[in-house]
């Protein structure tokens, strides 16, 4: 099951969603900013369970100008203090588990709208992946993308 946070971007993007998927809705016509796969959700829950208490409030996803192709994803823990709360005051929120949220930086919204976050694991690597329908190109190593 994918969990989605939605906003009104219908004049830019068109897609319909199953009514069985959990959505945070800000308007009648919506487009998911980010969908989180069950594998990614499970991995985030595992990561939080390995942390010392007090646990962070969640994980913030943003983008940064970096790499050979322009943009890359940044994920960081948000600490439950005044500075942490201030940094996410305008973010969209996806609740993926009890007391675990993903916060989306508003400056990243248009670059990642419609993206699916997943967790991939094989013999050589384990990483979060972002399947972004807006990405037009990627660098050879997969660290950066452009839109």
Domain that holds residue 59: 34-140
Q: What's the pLDDT score for residue 12? A: 38
CA distance 63 to 66: 9
Per-residue pLDDT band at 43 (split at 50, 70, 90): very high
Query: How many domains does the structure of the chain reveal?
Result: 1
pLDDT in tens, 9-35: 333 333 333 333 444 444 445 678 899
Cα–Cα distance measured from residue 60 to residue 30, given in angstroms and rounded to the nearest whole number: 22
| Residue 39, burial from CB neighbour count under 10 angstroms (0-12, 13-18, 19+) | middle
In a domain, 130, yes or no: yes
Q: Which two tokens stand for residue 93?
A: 């929120």
The angle subtended at Cα 116 by Cα 31 and Cα 94, nearest 5°, is 65
Is 88 within the bounds of a domain? yes
CATH label of the domain that carries residue 73: 2.60.300.12
């Amino acid at each position: 099951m994918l969990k989605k946070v939605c906003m009104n971007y219908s004049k830019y993007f068109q897609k319909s969603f199953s009514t069985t998927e959990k959505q945070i809705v800000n308007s009648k016509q919506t487009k998911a900013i980010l969908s989180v796969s069950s594998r990614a959700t499970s991995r985030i829950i595992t990561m939080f369970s390995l942390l010392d208490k007090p646990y962070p409030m969640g994980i913030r996803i943003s983008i940064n100008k970096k790499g050979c192709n322009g943009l890359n994803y940044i994920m960081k823990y948000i600490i439950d203090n005044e500075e942490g709360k201030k940094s996410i005051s305008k973010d969209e929120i996806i609740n993926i588990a009890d007391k675990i949220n993903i916060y989306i930086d508003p400056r990243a919204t248009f670059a990642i709208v419609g993206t699916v976050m997943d967790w991939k694991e094989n013999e050589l690597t384990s990483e979060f992946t972002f399947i972004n329908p807006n990405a037009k190109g990627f660098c050879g190593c997969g660290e950066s993308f452009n839109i």
